[in-house]
Amino acid sequence: MTSTEIGRAQVVNAADALFYARGVQAVGMDELRAKAGISLKRLYTLFPSKTAIVAEVLRGRTRQWNDGINAEAAAYESPRRKLLSIFDFLDHWFREDDFRGCAFINSFGELGTTMPEVADAAQQHKKNFIDYVTRLAVEAGCAPSVGLQIALLAEGAQTTAAITELTESATAAKAAAEVLLDSGKQ
């Protein structure tokens, strides 16, 4: 890796940790610079604005989400099991000590109206997830509408777990998804 790539990674990792724990607006550039271990001048050389940093953090969160979902699904052959494995992924995530909910929902709620890049990233991330779930639902023999319903269960589980700290939200949502899969056969 080049020094630029290393510096960018340091900033993104620091920003991701700070933004996820406290929110984007609560973190100043000087605090971010200190956590990344670089000068403010270097920070602005690597990223022209805080918006650019937030966008890069969200791109990283998309990769992290997709990698986690795909790793969990890789253990299964059937579309039904792959789809239900989403809730296993969520269950593991909800039990992490630093779980603070969905970074996209959090960022959209905080900045969606003032930072179009955040709104676009959140919308694209959620649409891609709905498309993935819908594809698996159809492959499992269900109507496409079941995909959206199951995606909504996953989204609701994330929000519920973040707000209430009820880690069993994933298990409850998985049970509801099984009912939808059983009743949604075409």
pLDDT tens profile 23-60: 999 999 999 999 999 999 999 999 999 999 999 999 99
Does some domain include residue 7? yes
Q: Do 77 and 145 belong together in one domain? A: yes
65: containing domain: 58-183
Place of tokens 């819908």: 134
**CA 123, CA 121: separation in Å to the nearest integer?**
6
pLDDT value at 105 more than 90: yes
Q: Do 30 and 70 belong together in one domain? A: no
Mean of per-residue pLDDT scores for the chain: 95
Q: Do 103 and 166 belong together in one domain? A: yes
CATH of the domain at 10: 1.10.10
Number of domains making up the chain = 2
Residue 185's pLDDT is what? 73
Q: Do 152 and 64 belong together in one domain? A: yes
Q: Do 6 and 41 belong together in one domain? A: yes
Residue 4's pLDDT is what? 87
Does some domain include residue 33? yes
**CA 156, CA 146: separation in Å to the nearest integer?**
15
Burial (0-12, 13-18, 19+ Cβ within 10 Å), 37: exposed
Does some domain include residue 53? no
- Give 112's pLDDT tier (boundaries 50, 70, 90): confident
Q: Do 63 and 137 belong together in one domain? A: yes
Residue 48's pLDDT is what? 94
Residue 186's pLDDT is what? 62
Does some domain include residue 78? yes
Q: Do 36 and 119 belong together in one domain? A: no
Residue 8's pLDDT is what? 95
pLDDT tens profile 72-103: 999 999 999 999 999 999 999 999 999 999 99
Q: Do 172 and 81 belong together in one domain? A: yes
Q: Do 96 and 27 belong together in one domain? A: no
Average pLDDT over residues 122-142: 97
Q: Do 67 and 43 belong together in one domain? A: no
Residue 3's pLDDT is what? 87
Residue 178: CB partners within 8 Å, gap ≥ 6?
A: 84
Q: Do 161 and 95 belong together in one domain? A: yes
Does some domain include residue 142? yes
- Report the percent of the chain where pLDDT is more than 90: 95
pLDDT value at 180 more than 90: yes
Q: Do 76 and 139 belong together in one domain? A: yes
pLDDT value at 22 more than 70: yes
CATH of the domain at 77: 1.10.357.10
Report residue 73 as tokens: 């699904």
* Between residues 1 and 92, the one the model is more confident about: 92
Average pLDDT over residues 115-137: 96
